[in-house]
Structure 1
């Protein structure tokens, strides 16, 4: 299989770097370790569990948990990489990503049987920092790999469907792995000064126990506004409205236990999209309608609804906005990959939705063509209900990549059932003349 070949190349490279002789046992042992760890399901954590552990942080316990959990999460997604279309696996950027994951997997399993003494714990923390830095550009590099495929091969509907399915799971896995690494390095690596926000004492790792939603909204707006002013020489204003379930106990600030960087990422992406729509839809006038954000705090969810009057989005376009292989912006050149992350890749909205869904929230778009668009972010109000949503590798996963997209069973090409788009590649059948006459008479 292709993945075995890629695995061999990766191990070969590492062995050469270490000036070791390549032996069949070398790559066979790593393949066996992948098979072993992929048998286990990841252990999803809730925000409350992150908080409870952080309050009584034990570096030894964290080390023992992560040296098993990280290989499990890595192995689960690496087994899926092997199921990707062969043409995509041959792309240079995808080979690079696969190599990064292989090296990180190898480095983590080296701690499998080590004693958790001070030297081991210090070494483990430094290795996690190195792994995190190595994977900094995974999103852009994998996106570049998809572009390389599109430029060199015809991508059929089944291949596109498989890539969409994989990237949702791949990037969600990446979010979860970085969350675990960030928590450990911030708690035990002396990196708490890297946590965002002015009051770092309220942080437990990268989680803010008093995340001020209004403050994050304003921060994301100002940064998006700066870009908008640079490009359009103007920008729409912001209106914030607060609605709470219990008006008798109305809070001046709406706080939530959350990861501020995740919320900021979602809001910044939505602000950029809304500002672009407003500025281009009202380009012939000097006044631009404001963007309104409604913050609603309920018993189960905290919802942020961003409303603009940017002309809305046609339903035919809305269907494509969360697809990784679709973008309304020009594709970036390779020289722009590091200066303008994700610009033109079309990954902003899909990955923002993954951030929302990571702790069992969601991000949805509701648009009225000719008027504007509402984007709603849902977040769990209770930290014990905000559980990680993680991909699991199993037989069902393997079957998905091999199974062709089912033939459509609806006549309308735009037919939808819930969130499932129906494929309608059906043949036109000609009715006998007698049947036509009968139907005409009935109508």
Structure 2
């Protein structure tokens, strides 16, 4: 089903852009008949050569009723603690309960995002990238809503195959949304576009969490049905005892290796020092935390290397180190990353958290165009497709972590066979996407910049895992 404005339109048209002087474009979707009744020549009048070309072929009309029924349902949020308690002692009955929760939750959550997209301005939905995402979402919604109640393990295996197929199909959603947001800059208020992006990306994370969690539980059950897991292991995708120091050091080595790949083996790479509460640990989904930490460290390392190369005499024989401080409170863990990379310039600072607004838009579009697949994980920061410490995979498919434990290879997730992100590419979405990940489990991400000196980044994480995933309410959706 396409937006209300084009439900009955089945024509193919090309919209290069539009001019408000020639034709008035509504800021919200007009009634179906208003757009369907316009002659084809009207679309030709919208062409202008000073904007990117948008091409979108409208799909056949689909009935609204099926979507309305699912939009009327509310999503049922979960917490990390619920995921752990539910999966700690896994039985066949629990596994089937998990399958049926996912079976009903996925189409519910997707339906809300489809409705959000229907409420976007017409010219935004006709963007080819946004349109592609819309089609992907409707295909997934239509597929999941037709899955019957899961009553046997064989039914569950078939359902997991459908989940895996959909996860693979949607691995390019993030770059498509990012390119769509950049190309639609100016077609709707920037604050509304960023609000839409935050909601749709947070919802995407939520769907992948419950889908991948169920697939992981299924794999665990097949290997050891009924076995009670210890506190040093994973429960599905959740690492029960995620040690912050281990994650920071692992991501630090990865980003330093990435910098050497980008700047050359002789480049002066800053040291990464970790201090504070070094034993602090908490339950978390490792791939999400690694993505946030890696992007923050990547930004700091790049800033320090480039700032030092311009001012070598100011800092002595080697670049100033990046300081990572770990702090534990009763409710939270706070990770501060401090660098002396010269800070953030004033023209960039106002747009730091925006997906669609800011300088260097052409360069960001060009870079995103070279990263057609992106699940937002540490895997995608690998230079030339490999990090040395991630190559040492044991026969059971697990990855050694600092000699203490093993992270199963499937916990990298949506995560596994992704196109490598070249080290020189700067996508311009790492900070807003990292904040979406941080806020998903009721955390936060803030940056404080001192121009000419450096940046302090503060990542706050809920320590107990008892905070529900932060999903958009119906009121929030209506406001978009």
TM-score (norm 2): 0.70
| Partner of residue 421, structure 2 | 340
Instruction: Name the structure 2 match of 1:86.
Output: 122
Is the CA contact 1:295–1:304 (under 8 Å) kept in the aligned structure 2? yes
Q: Could you tell me how far apart the structure 1 residues matched to 2:201 and 2:299 are? A: 21
Match of 2:473 in 1: 392
Does residue 208 of structure 2 align to residue 174 of structure 1? no
Aligned equivalents of 1:5, 1:120: Cα separation in 2? 39
Match of 2:105 among 69, 73, 81: 69
What is aligned with 2:79?
Answer: 46
SS in 1 for 2:474: coil
Provide the C-alpha distance between the structure 2 equivalents of 1:390 and 1:341, rounded to a whole number of angstroms.
Answer: 32
What pairs with 1:126-141 in structure 2 (closer than 5 Å)?
Answer: 126-141=161-176
Partner of 1:369: 451
Correspondent of 1:309 among 334, 340, 344: 340
Q: Which residue of 2 aligns with 1:277?
A: 303
Indicate the SS of the match to 1:81.
helix
User: Which consecutive residues of structure 1, in runs of 5 or more, have no partner in the other structure?
Assistant: 11-21, 194-198, 244-251, 402-443
Shift of 1:393: 3.0
Check whether the contact 1:359–1:389 (CA below 8 A) recurs between aligned residues: yes
The correspondence for 1:159, drawn from 172, 189, 192, is 189
Distance 2:175 2:422 in 1: 7
Does residue 286 of structure 2 align to residue 263 of structure 1?
no
Asked if 1:123 is matched to 2:158, the reply is: yes
The CA RMSD measured in Å over matched residues stands at 2.7
Q: What SS is found at the alignment partner of 1:114?
A: coil
Distance 1:142 1:47, change over 3 A: same
- CA shift, 1:142, in A, is 1.5
Partner of residue 419, structure 1: none
Q: Verify the 8 A CA contact 1:6 1:95 in the aligned structure 2.
A: no
**How does 1:192-231 map onto structure 2 within 5 Å?**
202-231=233-262
Task: Work out whether residues 128 and 180 of structure 2, in 8 Å CA contact, stay in contact via their aligned partners in 1.
Answer: yes
Task: Say if 2:380 is the partner of 1:349.
Answer: no
Q: Cα–Cα, structure 1 residues 349 and 281, in superposed 2: closer, same or farther, change >3 Å?
A: same
Matching of residue 183 in structure 1 with residue 213 in structure 2: yes
Aligned partner of 2:3 in structure 1 is 3
Give the direction of change, closer, same or farther, for the CA distance of 1:225–1:190 in structure 2 (3 Å limit).
Answer: same
Distance 2:162 2:8 in 1: 23
Give the Cα–Cα distance (whole angstroms) in 2 for the partners of residues 307 and 335 of structure 1: 30
Q: Which runs of 5+ in 2 are unaligned?
A: 11-58, 224-229, 374-419
Q: Provide the rounded CA distance (Å) in 2 between the counterparts of 1:7 and 1:345.
A: 34
Please state how far the C-alpha of 1:319 moved relative to its aligned partner.
2.4
Q: Which has the higher helix share?
A: 1
Q: Greater shift after overlay, 347-356 or 221-230?
A: 221-230
Aligned length: 364
Query: 1:201–1:123: structure 2 CA closer, same or farther, 3 Å change rule?
Result: farther
SS in structure 2 at match of 1:356: helix
What is the TM-score when the length of structure 1 is the normalising length? 0.76
Question: Is residue 293 from structure 1 mapped to residue 328 from structure 2 by the alignment?
Answer: no
Per the alignment, residue 138 of structure 2 pairs with: 102
2:3 alignment partner, SS class: helix
- Write the deviation string for residues 360-409 of structure 1: whole angstroms up to 9, x where unpaired: 0100001122221100000011122x221001234x533x34xxxxxxxx
Which residue matches 1:238? 272
